[in-house]
């Protein structure tokens, strides 16, 4: 087992990463002082795979457990679903000290985190991420949110869990597409801050795909460590955290223009490639580094081609994005693998050129 501590003064907490950890949840919760009742929020797939056994583990540890199920899908990140969960919590007489456990992928993590942040002005949150995207990225950093219509993550808060347990054994039931999707943000963490980790990913990709325990443990924990390091320095996303947006300015535009048919990690992969090419056209990132990125993205099984979307529409979507400052589109661009810089000096025509002339 590996442990990453996210240092935020009195809000510091541990992220535990290892195989089989989910069945230690009861004991770990007792260790940090919980003993009474608790609530698990999950979705039907994860409930069947892990929720019922987790519930039994917690009951055996002496907890009174309410297990709540939310249907799958991004559309569940809504105030309506949050309202239904508040209602269930009230009926269960959940108190300010009653922990809520988010068992699932990023959707469950973001929604449950939002509910935990707002119910009775905040109750303890425990993250139990079960997708690679959630373990390597979304469960770390305290961003919790629901969508507002088509506007993603518009209503939210910064709210950190008391404990995160990433059981890498749960990754074994993911489909190959889900696994690849989660790898995009992990590659991004290497690309922006850690060339050595990026090389490790290149060298161990086959073992990651075959779900080698030791390699997965190292990959998830290093990814968590890199993100935690950034969050510690910029908890409220006022500066440094911008570097985590590498691949996301164009990625978000692709995601929303495709009406979510392209998944988050897939869109970020194409976005990373497009933004690397922008950096290359600006004379900053070496062509060999662009090719290195393209190669790892392709080997993971993530898309390297732009989906058939109109470049103008994508630029329009970028202009609606939250990374716009005083009318300028903000980018985190790679200087080299392992280093990134922030700029709002990329012209609309260069963005369009890169998108239109994709293969040049
Ligand atoms: N808060 C953040 O900082 C942050 C960062 C990135 C993404 N996100 C959010 O994360 C969400 C996407 O998360 P996701 O990719 O994990 O998708 P998801 O939560 O929708 O999960 C994808 C699917 O995988 C299933 N699943 C989950 N764990 C499984 C397992 N172990 N085995 C088999 N199936 C399993 C789920 O039932 C679901 O159908 C988006 O809403 C995005 O906005 C948040």
SS (H, E, C) the chain: CEEEEECCHHHCEEEEEECCHHHHHHHHHHHCCCCCEEEEEECHHHHHHHHHHHHHHHHHCCCEEEEEECCCCHHHCCHHHHHHHHHHHHHCCCCCCCCEEEEECHHHHHHHHHHHHHHHHCCCEEEEECCHHHHHHHCCCCEEEEEECCEEEEEEEECCCCEEEEEHHHHHHCCHHHHHHHHHHHHHHHHHHCHHHHHHHHHHHHHHHCCCHHHHHHHHHHHHHHHHHHHHHCCCCCCHHHHHHCCHHHHHHHHHHCCCCCCHHHHHHHHHHHHHHHHHHCCCCCHHHHHHHHHHHHHHCCCCCCCCCCHHHHHHHHHHCCCEECCEECEEEEEECCEEEEECCCCHHHHHHHHHCCCC
Confidence class for position 322, pLDDT limits 50, 70, 90: low
Give tens-digit pLDDT for 116-127: 999 999 999 999
* Cα(276)–Cα(278) distance, integer angstroms: 5
The burial class, CB within 10 Å (0-12 / 13-18 / 19+), for 184 is buried
Name the residue with higher pLDDT: 258 or 290. 290
Ligand 1 atom 9, closest CA = 106
Q: With a 6 A CB cut-off, is 186 part of the ligand 1 pocket? A: no
- Looking at residue 311, its pLDDT comes to 76
- What is the number of the ligand 1 atom nearest to the C-alpha of 263? 15
Ligand 1 atom 24, closest CA = 105
Average pLDDT over residues 65-75: 96
Q: With a 6 A CB cut-off, is 106 part of the ligand 1 pocket? A: yes
Average pLDDT across the chain, whole number: 94
Confidence class for position 315, pLDDT limits 50, 70, 90: confident
User: What tokens does 268 get?
Assistant: 């970020």
Give tens-digit pLDDT for 76-117: 999 999 999 999 999 999 999 999 999 999 999 999 999 999
Ligand 1 atom 18, closest CA = 105
User: What tokens does 312 get?
Assistant: 């103008």
Confidence class for position 326, pLDDT limits 50, 70, 90: low
Give 132 Cα–ligand 1 centroid separation in angstroms: 8
* Cα(310)–Cα(348) distance, integer angstroms: 14
């Amino acid at each position: 087992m590996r442990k990453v501590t996210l240092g935020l003064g009195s809000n510091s907490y541990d992220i535990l990463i290892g195989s089989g950890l989910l069945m230690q949840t009861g004991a770990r919760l007792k260790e940090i002082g919980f003993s009474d009742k608790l609530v698990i929020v999950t979705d039907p797939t994860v409930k069947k795979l892990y929720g019922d056994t987790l519930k039994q583990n917690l009951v055996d540890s002496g907890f009174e457990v309410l297990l709540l199920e939310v249907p799958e899908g991004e559309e569940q990140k809504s105030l309506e679903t949050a309202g239904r969960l508040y209602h269930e919590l009230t009926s269960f007489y959940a108190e300010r000290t009653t922990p809520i456990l988010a068992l699932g992928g990023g959707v469950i993590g973001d929604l449950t985190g939002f509910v935990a942040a707002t119910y009775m002005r905040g109750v303890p949150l425990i993250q139990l991420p079960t997708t690679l995207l959630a373990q390597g990225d979304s469960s770390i950093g305290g961003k919790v949110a629901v969508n507002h219509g088509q506007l993603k993550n518009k209503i939210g808060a910064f709210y950190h869990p008391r404990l995160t347990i990433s059981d890498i054994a749960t990754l074994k039931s993911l489909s190959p597409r889900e696994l690849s999707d989660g790898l995009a943000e992990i590659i991004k963490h290497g690309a922006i801050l850690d060339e050595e980790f990026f090389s490790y990913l290149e060298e161990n990709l086959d073992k990651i795909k075959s779900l080698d325990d030791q390699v997965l443990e190292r990959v998830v924990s290093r990814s968590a460590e890199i993100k935690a390091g950034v969050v510690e320095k910029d908890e409220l996303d006022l500066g440094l955290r911008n570097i985590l947006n590498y691949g996301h300015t164009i990625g978000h535009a692709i995601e929303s223009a495709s009406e979510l048919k392209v998944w988050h990690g897939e869109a970020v992969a194409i976005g990373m490639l497009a933004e690397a090419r922008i950096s290359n056209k600006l004379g900053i990132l070496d062509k060999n580094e662009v090719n290195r990125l393209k190669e790892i993205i392709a080997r993971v099984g993530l898309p390297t081609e732009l989906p058939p979307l109109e470049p103008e529409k994508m630029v329009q979507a970028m202009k609606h994005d939250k990374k716009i400052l005083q009318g300028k589109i903000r980018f985190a661009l790679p200087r080299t693998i392992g280093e990134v810089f922030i700029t709002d000096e990329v012209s609309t025509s260069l963005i369009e050129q890169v998108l239109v002339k994709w293969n040049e």
